Amino acid sequence: MCRADAVGWTPLAAVFPGQGAQTVAMGAVWRGHPAWALAERAEDVLRRSLRPLLLDERRAPQGTAETQLAVFLTSMMAWKALRAEAVTPAVLAGHSLGQISALAAAGVLGFDDAVRLVERRGQVTDEVCASEPGGMVAALSRDTGLDAERAAAACEAAPGECWTANDNAPGQVVYSGTTRGLDRTVERARELGARRFHRLNVAGPFHTPLMAPAAGRLTAFARSLAFAAPDRPVILNADARPAGPGTPWPETLGEHLVRPVRWRATQELLGRYGTAALVEVGPGTTLAGLARRTVPHLRILSAGCPATAARAAACLRRPTAPPQPNTGRTSDR
């Protein structure tokens, strides 16, 4: 097992990606693998075919509802493959949608209920996206002196229309809001020192007050599900702290849609659990890239397909120097 006291294993943190990691035929690498049984189980739960989302070579998943379900399922298949290699991460976290993947991996939600929750999350957020057009833009400003506070100040150019949705890494924040609000905020951020901007492949103003209608509907739905205590620490996006005993999960999951993702602080905290490595479990390598900027002292790995899951496990079996203690405080930004 991959715990601090397990001889021959590197202590490990696992992180799960969110929306934006989708690609064409993203589930094809799992067809024929034992983990593909999760896709078949999800079809039984939802009583419809999911193969078009996972195997269609003509287009990537379309819309928020399709995308969230496809990313979640491929992340869970990657998790199953990694666990089959006897890898047991000591601490988990997930970025935005990935937080649900982390909760499923930690046993907070059973797989069937997690599938139902992700489907409902996609539906209610799609409804907001249709009625409140907007999006998200990453502002990149490394080495320009534009810190998270000054980046957030750019939103003052569009009060009530744009917010800082993610503090992802040193030199990267993500704005979220209406189309007009994003245009005004990007202009102001450029004046403050941001050098590059990247519009994310999402259709709405996630992690802002504009998602309040979806948050309420998701909370109501989540009250019909069964929740358990996590079997290992799970760091939550909203406060970059581990979920505590008695966490009100339906309310927490609803509020997650309107609160910012404190991913930089989350990564910093992951590094304080005695971990020496971090693995991104699921499609893409976005979180691995952010980790290299935020916690470069950790060994950074990816497990997005059967081959990379096996390689990550082999790498973790090789000994590494113990992680250096980090006594700094978690950022409140």
Of 75, 95, 96, 141, which residue is the catalytic one? 96
Phi, psi (degrees; rounded to nearest 5) at 193: 130, -5
Question: Residue 188 contacts by C-beta under 8 Å, 6 or more apart in sequence?
Answer: 154, 156, 157
Asked whether residue 274 falls in the same domain as residue 230, the answer is yes
CATH of the domain at 186: 3.30.70.250
Statement to judge: residues 117 and 247 lie in one domain = yes
Residue 240 inside a domain? The answer is: yes
At position 54, the amino acid (one-letter code) is L
In a shared domain, residues 31 and 114: yes
Residue 323 located in a structural domain:
no
Q: Is residue 176 part of a domain?
A: yes
- What 265-268 contacts at long range (C-beta under 8 Å, 24+ apart), as own/partner pairs, is 265/167, 265/240, 265/330, 265/331, 265/332, 265/333, 266/93, 266/235, 266/237, 266/240, 267/15, 267/93, 267/169, 267/291, 267/294, 267/295, 268/240, 268/294, 268/295, 268/326, 268/328, 268/330, 268/331
Report yes or no on 185 lying in a domain: yes
Let me know if residue 283 belongs to a domain: yes
The pLDDT score that the predictor gives to residue 5 is 36
Phi, psi of 157 (to 5 degrees): -75, -15
- Whether residue 21 sits in one domain with residue 97: yes
Q: Is 33 a catalytic residue?
A: no
Judge if 34 and 56 occupy the same domain: yes
Note whether 178 and 300 are same-domain residues.
no
Contacts of 328 (CB under 8 A, 6+ apart): 268
Give, in order, the Cα–Cα distances in Å from 2 to each of 6, 76, 86, 236, 305.
6, 18, 8, 21, 19
CB 83 within 8 A of CB 303: no
144 shares its domain with 243: no
Q: Give me the CATH number covering residue 312.
A: 3.40.366.10
What per-residue confidence (pLDDT) applies to 60?
A: 80
Q: Kindly state whether residues 124 and 149 are assigned to the same domain.
A: no
Position 184 scores a pLDDT of 97
Q: Residue 140: which domain range? A: 133-199
- Residue 153, judged by CB atoms within 10 A of its CB (0-12, 13-18, 19+), counts as middle
Show the tokens assigned to 123: 């539906």
pTM for this one? 0.91
Domain final position from 144, 165, 199:
199
pLDDT at 333: 29
Domain final residue, candidates 144, 171, 199: 199
- Choosing from 141, 176, 207, 302, which is the catalytic residue? 207
Is residue 207 flagged as an active site residue?
A: yes
45: number of Cβ within 10 Å: 16
**Quick one: 38 and 168 in the same domain?**
no
| Residue 333 lies inside a defined structural domain of this protein | no
Query: Can you give the pLDDT of all 333 residues of the chain as single tens digits?
Result: 333 334 356 789 999 999 888 889 999 999 999 999 999 999 999 999 999 999 998 888 888 899 999 999 999 999 999 999 999 999 999 999 999 999 999 999 999 999 999 999 999 999 999 998 899 999 987 665 567 788 889 999 999 999 999 999 998 999 999 999 999 999 999 998 888 999 998 889 999 999 999 999 999 999 999 999 999 999 999 999 999 889 999 999 999 999 999 999 999 999 788 899 999 999 999 999 999 999 999 999 999 999 999 999 999 887 544 444 343 433 332
- Is residue 170 domain-shared with residue 256, that is, in the same domain? no
Q: Are residues 193 and 305 in the same domain?
A: no
Q: Which of 175, 199, 223 is the last residue of a domain?
A: 199
173 and 281 assigned to the same domain: no
- Count of structural domains within the chain: 2
Q: Which residue has the tokens 């849609």?
A: 257
